[in-house]
Structure 1
Amino acid sequence: MQLKRKLAIVAVAAAFASVAGVGTASATFTDMSGTVYDDGWSHYSKQRCVSAFIGAARFKMSSYPDGDSMRHKPTSGSGGGGRVYSDTYFTSGDYTAKTMGPSMGECFYWNSRQYEGTFETDWQDTWFGKIEY
């Protein structure tokens, strides 16, 4: 009887973990985008907090503005203030996911900047990426 009860508890726990995503951590990325300009950083006002299930924020580019390289920098304060978690340079054509610094329970704001040879601001200055947090 004791063994059956233990097996039932284990089965219920495994079913809950499967539904809740616990123990079966697969990467799920949320789409995000922004507009960047040649002459400075673009700061985004949405605060994001890293969930307990993934451990650390990761980011990957989906498209670059005008095909140019970019920097992305999450910070603890809005407008680029506070602690800088990372300052990651993404070379145009690099679509691999990179850890961006904030870890479980930490909240951050996104900042980005593009690098190109000429000053311009047009509809092509929008970037797209995916973030896991």
Structure 2
Amino acid sequence: MTTATNLYSTTAVSGPGAVRVDDSELPVAAPPELGGPGGGWNSEQLYAAALATCLHQSIELIASSGGDDTSGCTVSAGVTLRHEGAEKYDVEARLKVELPNVPESRRQDLVDLAVSHAPLIGGWPVGVA
């Protein structure tokens, strides 16, 4: 039996108009498309940012051990909130990775390995360019 080692922990507390993450506060608001005032972050934006950041950091980590040049690497994540009937919501996410300085023959393998190490990505489709 192995025991996991905690590497990092954080706490977010959401309240009216803001979410506090550790010692920082972000304004939050529902987007106008959902009847909100806008002017703040919403959960879909925060989720997209978390997905893109998680995969980007995983790519950087995996590439550093393999000697790949990830300069110019970008990861985009699109998140869509969907509604199906009363009170039934879900999200869909799609990610795209651009690795302009990694040989094309190596890109997919690098991204696949990074996805397998990125704890938040879990099954979302990831395109590679």
The answer to whether the superposition gives a TM-score over 0.5 is no
Structure with greater proportional strand content: 1
Kindly name which structure, 1 or 2, has the bigger radius of gyration based on alpha carbons.
1
Structure with greater proportional helix content: 2
Structure number with the bigger relative contact order (C-alpha 8 A, sep ≥ 6) is 1
TM-score (norm 1): 0.28
